[in-house]
Each structure stands twice: as structure tokens, then as C-alpha cells.
Amino acid sequence: MNTSTQKMVEQTIESIVQITNPYGSGSGFLIDGLIITNSHVVSGLKEVLISTKTLPKTIGTVVYDDPAFDLAFIRSPIPIERNHPLVLSSESVQDGDGVIAIGHPYGLNYSTTEGIVSKASRLQGEVEYIQFDAAINPGNSGGPLLNESAEVIGVNTFIIQNSNNLGFALPSYTLNEALSQFNLLNKDDIIRCVSCKNLIHEPSIQNDYCPKCGTKLEVAKRRREGYTPSGVVALVEKILEKLEINVTLSRRSQRSWRFEREKSRIDINYYDNGIVIADSALCRIPQENIDLLYDYLLSENAKLERLQFAINENTVYLSYIVVDSSLSEEYGTASLKKLFDNAPLYQKLLIERFKALEPKFDEFE
């Protein structure tokens, strides 16, 4: 990446948004106070988690959902300050133009790839797209495609699987038209009908059918039903609520949660083999006093109930492990509370007594 490109990325990265919901994650970007992304990134939900380099993870409201053009607009409850706001390009895109894609593929935050426009206008169904060869992957969806002037020329929308960098972005002129139509209504909770393409105010929809043409609006049904956990997932979330954890903010997927208690980060994952693991990365093993540290962990493991220490590579974890069939509200609440209470204490002790090192986390994870 050359110096000018690197400088451009540093300026625009503050407008890039990470979007998460129980069904997956993706990218977005800020334009005129709205977060732009794909419809498939918000998964038909009215609320999703959003975060930027300056905005901690918070709940954003999906105010526009457009499955016809695979677009969605999100409002942040908190204004997001930026020194270099993104703008939509007014220049026509030409074959061979240089492009930059920014997003969060596979949860790898703020990844940037460069390429060229392979085809400025490629028709897929009824929609025109920009075809380009900058490498994008799942998680890039909804992020911006930028030209060499750091202007948005498209919304990264999809790739052809198992191809050699065949990416497609919805052109900025299509986004601009959708923004103009949405702003003209001066209302939130807008859905575009996939059949007649009219913008529909959600309160006017009855029985999930378009009031203009009568087409069944699947997105209206998904927004109405929302996300409702069941089974062990619902039990885990009930326990977290009892422990005063904001479940919505802690969700990373349908079976994964992350949050902080004091200075400790707690991860909970429910695996396909039926095991629920809640753990906290306490510290990294020091280069000195390793035998003393090991002896201490072994002696504590012999005394601990419900919890146990474990080491993965060079990181020490305090964990609670249970089979889903054995998880109960009472037992699970008591065990997780013990983990929450003890993780910060053990972390402080191991760092101070054995000179263990602070755990390493991705700054924006």
C-alpha cells in the first residue's frame, strides 16, 4: 500500500462501522448522519449492534430496509464525530479505475484491499453493479468501495464464491437515489417492496403484505418477529440478565457472548457438541517465575469449585465448563457469578505476585 493510499485509509477509517447481530456480522459506513450497509447484513432486524473506532458498541436502529437493492440505513443513538466525512462520488466509474475496499472480513477489523474496476456496469437481475477485483470476503458486505480520491463509488455487496476476486458493489448513484427517496419521506421504519419497488411506511403494512401491490413482504415479517432465542441459548441469556448483563450488547452471535466485568473480559460460547464454556483471559505467562505460577494454579485448581484454571498457548484462563443438559438457572447463575467475581481478583493477583503479563486483545474487537 503506497503512502498516499495509506494516508487516505487513515482518514476514512473513522467512518467505517462494524455491524453485528445474532445471525452474523458485516460492515457499514457513515454518509450524512446515516450508517449505510446491506439489507442482508441487518438480517431483517430492527436493531443491530454498531461500533466504530470512536463509538463503543451500542444499539443502532434500522430505519430503512431495502431487499430489492440490498440496502439498509441505520441510525446511531449517539452522534459519531469524524474529522474527514465520507462523500459520495459524482464522477462516472470507468473500467480500469483504481479502487479500495474497507471492511471487517471474518471479524478482522478495518481490513483494506486494493484493486481495479473490472467492469463499470454489470447487470445482475434487474440491478447494475460495479465489478472489481479487490479481494473481499464475508464480513466486507456493506462496506464502502472508494476511488482514488477517497470518495464512495459503491457499497460492497457480494462476491462470487470460489472465484478469483470477483466482487460486486452497488453503485453510488443507486445509493444516492435511495437516500433521496428516504429523506423525502421524512420518516423512519421504511421498507422497499421487492416487487413494485415502492417505499412503504411500516405502520401501514397489514399482515405483512405490500399495501401497493399485495406482494408478501418477508422483510416486514422478519422485522415484526425479531430475534427470539430458545432452548439453552435462552437459558444462558436469562442467567446473564439475572447477573445484570446487557444481553443485546454482549451478543456476538446466536451462541456467543462477550462483555467486561471490572477489568476482565468474559467470553461465553455454546458449542455444537453441547458444551458451554465461559472463560476469562487473565494474563500471559511471564518469562520468569513460571514454575511458581504453575504450582499456584495447580494448588488453586484443587480448591476451586465449579471453576478451573487452564492454559492455552501462553495465556492463563479462568473457566466454567458445563454440558448443556446439566445447565440450570440456579446452578448456572451461581457459577457464572463466581467467575465474574473471581476473574478480576485472580487477574490482579497473578500480575502482581508472579509478574505475569497483561492479556492481549484486539483494540477494536
d(CA 208, CA 217): 5
Domain assignment present for residue 361? The answer is: no
Q: Give the pLDDT of residue 364.
A: 46
Lowest mean pLDDT among 36-40, 112-116, 269-273, 340-344: 112-116
User: Could you tell me if 202 and 333 lie in one domain?
Assistant: no
CB atoms under 10 Å from CB of 281, counted, come to: 20
| Residue where one domain finishes, among candidates 183, 211, 227 | 227
* Residue 241 and residue 117 share a domain: no
Number of domains present in the structure of the chain: 2
Residue 102 lies in a domain: yes
Q: Which of 4, 5, 3 is nearest to 115 (CA)?
A: 5
pLDDT, average across residues 151-158: 96
The predicted structure's pLDDT at residue 362: 64
Domain with residue 349: its CATH number is 3.30.1460.10
**Of the residues 193, 227, 261, the one at which a domain ends:** 227
Residues 243 and 192 occupy one common structural domain:
no
Q: 18-35 burial, b for 16+ CB within 10 Å, e for fewer?
A: bbbbbebbbbbbbbeebb
Partners of residue 190 on adjacent β-strands? 64, 201
Residue 40 resides in a domain: yes
Q: How far is CA 274 from the centre of its chain?
A: 25
Residue 136 confidence class, pLDDT cut points 50, 70, 90:
confident
Residue 29 inside a domain? The answer is yes
Are 289 and 140 members of one domain? Answer: no
Q: Do residue 243 and residue 207 come from a single domain?
A: no
Contact 121, 130 (CB under 8 A): yes
Residue that finishes a domain, picked among 227, 246, 272: 227
User: Would you say residue 174 lies in a domain?
Assistant: yes
Q: pLDDT tens-digit profile of 15-35? A: 999 999 999 999 999 999 999
Q: Please indicate, yes or no, whether residues 119 and 238 belong to a single structural domain of this protein.
A: no
Flag whether 360 is in a domain.
Answer: no
Residues 196, 253, single domain; the answer is no
Whole-angstrom distance, CA of residue 200 vs CA of residue 212: 8
Q: CA–CA separation, 221 vs 209, rounded Å?
A: 9
Q: Are residues 235 and 223 in the same domain?
A: no
Q: What is the pLDDT of residues 193-244, one digit of tens each?
A: 999 999 999 999 999 999 999 999 999 999 999 999 999 999 999 999 999 9
58 and 182 fall within a common domain: yes
Provide long-range contacts, Cβ within 8 A and 24+ apart, for 222-230. 222/43, 222/44, 222/45, 223/44, 223/45, 223/46, 223/62, 223/65, 223/191, 226/45, 226/46, 227/21, 227/22, 227/23, 227/45, 229/22, 229/254
Q: Given this model, what pLDDT does residue 5 score? A: 73
The C-alpha atoms of residue 150 and residue 12 are separated, in whole angstroms, by 7
Predicted TM-score (pTM) of the model is 0.91
239 and 161, same structural domain? Answer: no
| 77 and 216 fall within a common domain | yes
Same domain, 213 and 93: yes
Reported as a pLDDT band with limits 50, 70 and 90, residue 1 is low
Q: 364 lies in a domain?
A: no
Residues 6+ apart with CB under 8 A from 295: none
At residue 280, the pLDDT reads 97
Q: Is the pLDDT of residue 95 over 90?
A: yes
Q: pLDDT at residue 139 above 90?
A: no
Domain assignment of residue 166, yes or no: yes
Our measurement of the distance from residue 207's CA atom to the centroid of its chain's CA atoms, rounded to an integer in Å, reads 31
Residues 102-121 have a mean pLDDT of 85
Q: Where are the alpha helices (DSSP H) in the chain?
A: 3-12, 39-42, 172-185, 218-225, 231-242, 247-250, 290-303, 329-354
Cell for 50?
A: 454498531
Measured CA angle at 143 (ends 220, 1), to 5 deg: 170
Q: What is the mean pLDDT of the chain?
A: 93
- Give 65's contacts (C-beta < 8 A, 6+ positions apart): 39, 42, 44, 72, 190, 191, 192, 219, 223
Q: What is the greatest pairwise CA distance in the chain?
A: 74
The DSSP output letter for 65 is E
Domain that residue 26 falls in: 1-227
Strand ranges, E, within the chain:
16-21, 24-31, 34-37, 47-51, 58-66, 71-75, 98-103, 111-124, 127-132, 144-146, 152-159, 167-171, 190-192, 199-201, 251-253, 256-261, 264-270, 275-284, 307-312, 315-323
- pLDDT reported for residue 106: 66
Identify the CATH number of the domain in which residue 65 sits: 2.40.10.120
